[in-house]
């Protein structure tokens, strides 16, 4: 199992991006591009659970670690992608410690959680090394809790203090929408919320993460103490590349008319 958890706990900054096309080919291309991690998105992405397996298989031969954003904290959704070989899960819209605990319970086997045991799954080499996987899972699987509601802001310390919560991940779009300042990421209200999230994570010895789409924002968020950083997605990489090429070709064509 590829393991980024220890590196994150040691304070290293880890760079990642989203995968939302549901394509194993783009997953493999991105996995070979130099990111530390990728997030397969089942909440808003084009793919379904059926597409996760092929993406995980494509990423297996790359250095990049794959996490999956599940649709909800339902234990069946969590255990399904873990059995396929995901290195951890991100759960959206977690409002309080009770909901966060449900995510963590689904992430880990007893006695640390209530994840169902199945030996004949991809994560365990189809039964060949279940014990090895079991022994390593608690220290390897990453629990990423998304903070994107006002209610969550009122329960940050309780959420961050839970064993098994490794990353408080800021959802900028949803959080700014909840705060009534959608997309205003330089608004003092938004910045104040970020600082509260980062402080709660630091007090508990946990990490903070965020997704943004302008790489020029990297230093700002890094200086604030965020170490689990995502910028862009496979869909935006394709779209940006296609638009840039079309623009260049249109400009070249214009020289002949």
Q: Which residues are catalytic?
A: 44
- Give CA–CA dist 158/154, Å, rounded: 9
Determine the length of the chain. Answer: 257
22 alpha carbon, distance to own chain's centre: 15
- Give CA–CA dist 28/62, Å, rounded: 7
CA 182 vs CA 143, 149, 185: distances in Å: 27, 13, 8
Nearby residues of 201 by Cβ (< 8 Å), 6 or more positions away: 160, 167, 168, 207, 208
- Give CA–CA dist 202/204, Å, rounded: 5
Assigned token pair, 194:
């970020």
Map tokens 């705060």 to a residue: 179
Residue 166 backbone dihedrals phi, psi, to 5 degrees? -100, -35
């Amino acid at each position: 199992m590829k393991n980024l958890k220890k590196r994150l706990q040691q304070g290293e900054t880890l760079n990642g991006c989203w995968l939302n096309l549901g394509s194993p080919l783009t997953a493999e291309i991105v996995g070979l591009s130099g990111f530390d991690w990728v997030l397969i998105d089942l909440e808003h992405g084009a793919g379904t659970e059926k597409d996760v397996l092929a993406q995980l298989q494509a990423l297996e031969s790359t250095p990049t670690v794959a996490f999956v954003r599940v649709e909800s904290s339902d234990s069946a959704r969590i255990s399904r992608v873990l059995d396929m070989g995901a290195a951890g899960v991100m759960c959206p819209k977690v409002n309080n410690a009770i909901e966060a605990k449900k995510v963590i319970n689904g992430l880990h086997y007893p006695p640390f959680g209530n994840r169902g045991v199945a030996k004949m799954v991809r994560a365990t080499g189809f039964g060949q090394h279940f014990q090895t996987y079991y022994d390593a899972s608690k220290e390897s699987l990453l629990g990423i809790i998304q903070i994107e509601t006002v209610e969550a802001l009122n329960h940050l310390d309780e959420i961050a203090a839970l064993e098994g919560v490794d990353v408080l991940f800021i959802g900028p779009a949803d959080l700014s929408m909840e705060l009534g300042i959608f997309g205003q990421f330089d608004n003092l209200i938004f910045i104040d919320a970020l600082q509260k999230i980062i402080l709660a994570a630091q007090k508990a010895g946990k990490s903070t993460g965020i997704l943004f789409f302008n790489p020029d924002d990297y230093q700002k968020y890094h200086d604030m103490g965020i170490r689990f950083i995502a910028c862009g997605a496979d869909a935006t990489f394709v779209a940006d590349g296609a638009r840039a090429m079309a623009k260049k070709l249109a400009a070249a064509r214009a020289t002949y008319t």
